[in-house]
């Protein structure tokens, strides 16, 4: 349940924050969601990755369809995509997902570091 809530909250905040803040503010919101809704690090990464992968993939596709793929085809010709706007959209979505996932992973690790009980458990577990 926490995974779905983190995924939805990351997607909603990832959409709303760049409307009022710089474009990279979605990474800050992914970080904050992972700090507030604590999950295991791999789940936090996955929630951030999937949320922004889907958000940016859908958002870019909608924007791209509005202008009949004119700009994305020209950009894909400049990059090594041989004019494939679909490859450009997929790459854009993956980059957004990775950025958000890494921010969420960092937030999850920060939460682990701040919790003294978990830190003591890890210390006892790895004691020789």
Q: How far apart are CA 33 and CA 51, in angstroms?
A: 12
Using 50, 70 and 90 to split pLDDT, how confident is the model at 127?
low
Query: What is the residue whose two structure tokens read 């010709």?
Result: 77
Nearest C-alpha neighbor of 41 from the set 126, 122, 127, 123: 122
Model confidence at 128, in pLDDT bands (50, 70, 90)? very low
What are the backbone dihedrals phi and psi of residue 53, each rounded to the nearest 5 degrees, phi first?
-60, -50
Structure confidence at residue 83 as a pLDDT band (50, 70, 90): confident
CA pair distance 83, 47, nearest whole angstrom: 31
112 confidence band (pLDDT: 50, 70, 90): confident
- How far CA 85 is from CA of 32, 67, 77, in Å, comes to 33, 12, 9
């Amino acid at each position: 349940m926490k995974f779905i809530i983190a995924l939805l909250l990351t997607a909603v905040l990832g959409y709303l924050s760049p409307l009022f803040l710089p474009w990279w503010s979605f990474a800050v919101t992914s970080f904050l969601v992972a700090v507030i809704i604590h999950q295991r690090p791999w789940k936090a990464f996955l929630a951030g990755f999937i949320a922004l992968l889907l958000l940016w993939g859908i958002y870019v596709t909608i924007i791209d369809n509005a202008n009949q793929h004119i700009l994305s085809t020209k950009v894909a010709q400049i990059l090594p995509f041989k004019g494939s706007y679909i490859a450009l959209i997929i790459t854009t979505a993956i980059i957004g997902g990775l950025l958000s996932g890494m921010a969420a992973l960092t937030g999850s690790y920060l939460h682990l570091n701040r919790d003294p009980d978990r830190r003591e458990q890890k210390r006892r577990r790895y004691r020789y």
